[in-house]
Chain A
């Protein structure tokens, strides 16, 4: 049984003036436990709407979301979303440790017991020594590391990530991609990732769904079979990597300008 199943999901919005526009059109997909899968699509294609619907934060217009075979409405308990805007999602009034403890406590852990666990998670994302810092004292990349640690503290079965590295500079981005892959392999969490960066999707994922322009539909499913652990230099240098990249690029761009 897939850990996450999306059945004919669509979402439309009522615009000013009363017209309805379709943001997500009829998406169906299945994610197996332990997989790293990505949606890749152009900006403004409704990716975030899709992910917010899967996270139960907005109600879909039609369709179903099943977690471990059970239909859910509202935020499912074993799923957590990491937002692109980490600076808006982190709790400014809590230290790094406090933010991570939030994730543990949200799951029901008692405060005293969980401090050691929080500290080891902070170390795992590479922020040892920054436990007592406040988010504003950290760089963007470090802030997103805190958000990831906080999400992992919740021990979700599925981690949803909405362009988590979209606002980071290129180098920090590569670093965080590798950190994420390392965490994924160590913890075995299923990851559903969204990005508009084609190469990022290829580098990270086991499978990719290519999305069309708005309203987003799946136009292609690709299995990415580079061996793991992957390397920023070696994997990206493979001929096959460029072939996949170009294929996806043509698919997205042949869709025409929105």
Chain B
């Protein structure tokens, strides 16, 4: 796993070399430059549109939509996952439906969402919530089902109410699975937000990227892509940092099990 031990300087160096090759390759071929501008030009464009305040609103609305959708998806999927993991009957009732819907490419419901919700924020959020729910849901169900019965019995012998067993035992015991689901959904949510923004709306990084492409502002388009990439990277780093804090108890345990 990343986030522990020494910093990966060689990885950054290799990345820098890759960018340098891009720069050289693009500069040495003027026809290519039209479609793939040198990285320096892209970064210059990026700083220009940031300083001109051209992209801030787009970045802001993408981040807000992302947070809204991701948190909503997490709340719904964890709740549903605990219920389906805990009650066998509920699970057998919905299992087929889940197994059918889950592998379907989530973008396929974008037209449905447009039909029902129009082309606004609510459509983008709905689609993103739908898509990013699945990994969290599946992992939460798995996590709850894997809880040893002794653990629940321990709560019961200590006289805990059902509610406290849920909060103090089931959720923490299933948390490694839930966190795995949350990590997978993080990137899915960002993919869906930008994709949906490309299809609808007049704000957001997805919209910005496609809009700049249509107006042949290739450098600006790439600047938008770089910004999405940086956003994704930053969110992932933030997640790993929070996970490291919350899941501190597991790190050594996993390392020992792996031996």
Measuring CB to CB, which residues of chain A are less than 8 angstroms from any residue of chain B? Answer: 52, 55-57, 75, 77, 79-81, 83, 85, 88-89, 91-95, 102-103, 106-107, 134, 136-137, 154
Q: Contact: B172 with A89, CB < 8 Å?
A: no
Query: Chain B nearest CB: distance from A74 CB in Å?
Result: 8
Q: Of all chain A residues, which has the CB nearest B147?
A: A88
Question: CA separation between A81 and B152, bound complex, in Å?
Answer: 12
Q: Which of B154-191 contact A (CB under 8 A)?
A: 154, 156-160, 168-169, 172-173, 175
Q: Secondary structure of the B side of the interface? A: helix
Question: CA separation between A127 and B234, bound complex, in Å?
Answer: 42
| A89 touching B150 in the complex, CB below 8 Å, given contacts A80-B157, A106-B160 | yes
Question: CA separation between A150 and B216, bound complex, in Å?
Answer: 68
Point out the residue from A75, A83, A134, A137 that lies within 8 Å of B159, measured CB to CB.
A75
Q: Contact: B249 with A75, CB < 8 Å?
A: no
Q: Contact: A55 with B150, CB < 8 Å?
A: no
A residues near B160, Cβ cutoff 8 Å: 106
| A92 touching B157 in the complex, CB below 8 Å, given contacts A83-B150, A85-B150, A102-B168 | no
B residues near A80, Cβ cutoff 8 Å: 157-158
Question: CA separation between A91 and B173, bound complex, in Å?
Answer: 8
| A88 touching B148 in the complex, CB below 8 Å, given contacts A77-B159, A106-B159 | yes
Q: Of all chain B residues, which has the CB nearest A58?
A: B153
Question: CA separation between A81 and B175, bound complex, in Å?
Answer: 25
Q: Contact: A134 with B253, CB < 8 Å?
A: yes
Q: Does B230 interact with chain A (Cβ within 8 Å)?
A: no
Question: CA separation between A95 and B150, bound complex, in Å?
Answer: 18
Question: CA separation between A143 and B252, bound complex, in Å?
Answer: 16
7 tightest A-B contacts by CB? A106-B158, A88-B150, A81-B157, A136-B253, A88-B148, A93-B172, A93-B249
B residues near A91, Cβ cutoff 8 Å: 151, 169, 172-173
Question: CA separation between A197 and B17, bound complex, in Å?
Answer: 69
| A136 touching B252 in the complex, CB below 8 Å, given contacts A80-B158, A103-B158, A154-B158 | yes
Q: Does B256 interact with chain A (Cβ within 8 Å)?
A: yes
Q: Secondary structure of the A side of the interface? A: loop
Q: Contact: A75 with B156, CB < 8 Å?
A: yes
Q: Contact: B154 with A89, CB < 8 Å?
A: yes
A residues near B172, Cβ cutoff 8 Å: 91, 93
Q: Contact: B158 with A57, CB < 8 Å?
A: no
Q: Of all chain A residues, which has the CB nearest B253?
A: A136
Q: Contact: B158 with A92, CB < 8 Å?
A: no
Query: Chain B nearest CB: distance from A28 CB in Å?
Result: 23
B residues near A57, Cβ cutoff 8 Å: 153, 156-157
Report 12 cross-chain contacts, Cβ distance below 8 Å, ordered by A residue. Answer: A52-B153, A56-B157, A57-B157, A79-B157, A83-B153, A88-B150, A89-B150, A89-B153, A91-B169, A92-B173, A95-B249, A136-B256
B residues near A77, Cβ cutoff 8 Å: 159
Question: CA separation between A91 and B158, bound complex, in Å?
Answer: 13
Chain A CB count within 10 A is highest, among B148, B151, B169, B252, for B151
Q: Of all chain B residues, which has the CB nearest A98?
A: B249
Question: CA separation between A119 and B157, bound complex, in Å?
Answer: 22
Question: CA separation between A27 and B188, bound complex, in Å?
Answer: 58
Question: CA separation between A103 and B169, bound complex, in Å?
Answer: 13
Query: Chain B nearest CB: distance from A114 CB in Å?
Result: 14
Point out the residue from B157, B169, B173, B252 that lies within 8 Å of A137, measured CB to CB.
B252
Q: Contact: B150 with A93, CB < 8 Å?
A: no
B residues near A154, Cβ cutoff 8 Å: 158-159
Q: Of all chain A residues, which has the CB nearest B152?
A: A57
A residues near B159, Cβ cutoff 8 Å: 75, 77, 106-107, 154
B residues near A103, Cβ cutoff 8 Å: 158
**Further pairs besides A52-B153, A88-B148: 7, Cβ < 8 Å:** A81-B157, A85-B150, A92-B253, A103-B158, A106-B159, A134-B249, A136-B253
Q: Contact: A134 with B158, CB < 8 Å?
A: no
Q: Contact: A102 with B158, CB < 8 Å?
A: yes
B residues near A83, Cβ cutoff 8 Å: 150, 153-154
Query: Chain B nearest CB: distance from A80 CB in Å?
Result: 5
Question: CA separation between A80 and B154, bound complex, in Å?
Answer: 9
B residues near A136, Cβ cutoff 8 Å: 252-253, 256
